[in-house]
Structure 1
Amino acid sequence: MSQADFSESQSVDLHMCRWKWCSDTFLSKNELVHHVLDHHVQNSVPCSRREYALSRKIEEGEGQSFSFPHAENTGSKTLGNVVGKLISL
């Protein structure tokens, strides 16, 4: 048996997890399915379709940027003012 024949007969199909930032590999589809269910699906946080679409846009960098007013412009405690104050420190 030649080296080429040996490597072809010994080839193994690996199943890679393609969940975000996961690079685990498995020898069987069954192991992969159990991994995905136990480590990814069970630990995920439920969200609405609207929230999912928004998070995808944020991750992909789509949409408009947020702009916050400067903290010294107003005396009100809005999120923009608080963030502006923290940034200026």
Structure 2
Amino acid sequence: MLKRQVTISNKLGLHARAATKLAILAADFDAEITLIQADKQASAASVLGLLMLESGIGKMITVTATGPDAATALDAVCNLINDKFDESC
């Protein structure tokens, strides 16, 4: 299992559009990707699960990945989060 911590830095946090973008990205990989915030966790492939994390700006998220594409998936997910989900704010 690979693991990395990232901080949500876009203004609106992990809202519906960002969660959808993340879930679509996660589906591209042969890996199980999980986001963990405090005592909550969600599959990166589940928009509803991601929204239930209630991750706002400044929240620290742990991203884990297992499977054949784990390293590539982890990099891609963390890059998307660090790039503020490609939003301008």
In the superposition, the TM-score normalised over structure 1's length comes to 0.29
- Structure number with greater CO (CA < 8 Å, separation at least 6) is 2
In the superposition, the TM-score normalised over structure 2's length comes to 0.29
| Structure holding more strand per residue | 2
Quick check: which has more Rg, 1 or 2?
1
| Structure holding more helix per residue | 1
